[in-house]
Amino acid sequence: MSTYIYGITATSHPGLPEGVSGIGDPPLPVRVLREGELAALVSDAPEGLRPKRRELLAHQNVLSEAGAAGCVLPMRFGSVAPDDDAVTGVLAERAEHYGERLRALDGRVEYNVKANHVEDAVLHHVMAGNPEIRALAESNRKAGGGSYEQKIQLGEMVAAAVKAKEAEDAGALERLLEPAADAVSVGPESTGWLANVSYLVKREAAAEFLEAVEQARKDLPHLEVRLNGPLPPYSFVEPGPAEPAGTAAGGADAGAG
């Protein structure tokens, strides 16, 4: 049977949750695979695993149980290796990398921040800051709406200005939040979000980071800012000793699946 991987930690971790229920129906027991100074939290991998709410929560619960007592490198949901030997083989092969990541992420959590424009507010900003757009809009208004070509021209100008404003505001938001974090990981672009950024934050500095988010909301009122966290540091697992945290987005797959 294939082996499902929840996370990687040190064998010195004081509270490895061996026997805790994991994914599957009925829930499968979590066990600990040890290799040198590293340990992997695993269970059997059920057939036909799907990212259903129950399974996602079970995956998260194992990480929460382990993370409450010490640093754990979280694997993305669905990380599966052919068998236990494949997992311990990767632990041995990447021991230096995972050891470095455990030291770098110890005592830290991830906050994900997504931002979007409030449509009416950003249109007001665009019109107020662009005399050419204002002049064309006024000309069209006086002409009863303007010609088809003029309407297209105005629409294209507004769209370009909004796009430029998105880039400007994404940079402004990141500059406001970055000082309160240890590292930054820019996530993949997704429809509807002008910013999708994860921040690595010391647990004891979480209040400072949350204050920075609230300040950003006040300074950029034309943005809708959504905060998710604290989370296990999924976005900071992969960078190794030669690659600073925050230079690559996405969690590890343990190299085994």
Amino acid letter, 147: S
Residue-wise pLDDT tens digits, 88-98: 999 999 999 99
Predicted pLDDT of residue 247: 34
- In the chain, the percentage of residues whose pLDDT exceeds 70 is 80
Span 180-232, pLDDT tens digits: 999 999 887 766 688 899 999 999 999 999 999 999 999 998 899 999 988 88
- Three-state secondary structure call for residue 241: coil
Q: Is the pLDDT of residue 3 over 90?
A: yes
Q: 5: alpha, beta or left, given left = phi > 0 and alpha = psi -120 to 50?
A: beta
The pTM is what?
Answer: 0.73
Q: Name the band, by pLDDT with cuts 50, 70 and 90, for residue 41.
A: very high
Q: Residues 22, 27, 29, 35: is their CA dihedral positive or negative?
A: negative
Contact between 105 and 10 (Cβ < 8 Å): no
Given this model, what pLDDT does residue 246 score? 35
Q: Is the pLDDT of residue 256 over 90?
A: no
pLDDT tens per residue, range 194-208: 889 999 999 999 999
Minimal CA–CA distance to 8: which of 94, 73, 81, 84? 73
Q: What are the φ and ψ backbone dihedral angles of 109, each rounded to 5 degrees?
A: -130, 170
Closest CA to 96 of 240, 247, 248: 240
DSSP characters over 181-200: SSEEEE----TT-SEEEEEE
61, 36 Cβ separation under 8 angstroms: no
* Predicted confidence (pLDDT) per residue in 151-184, tens digit: 677 677 777 777 777 888 889 999 999 999 999 9
226 contacts 115 by C-beta, under 8 angstroms: yes
How does DSSP classify residue 254? T
- Amino acid letter at 184? V
DSSP per residue over 11-55, as a string?
TT-TT--TT-B-STTTTPBPEEEEETTEEEEEEE--TT----HHH
**Section 49-53 average pLDDT:** 89
Collect all residues with Cβ–Cβ distance below 8 Å to 28 and sequence separation of at least 6. 4, 21, 22, 43, 44, 46
What is the mean pLDDT of the segment spanning 28-43?
A: 94
**pLDDT of the residue at 188:** 75
pLDDT of residue 239: 53
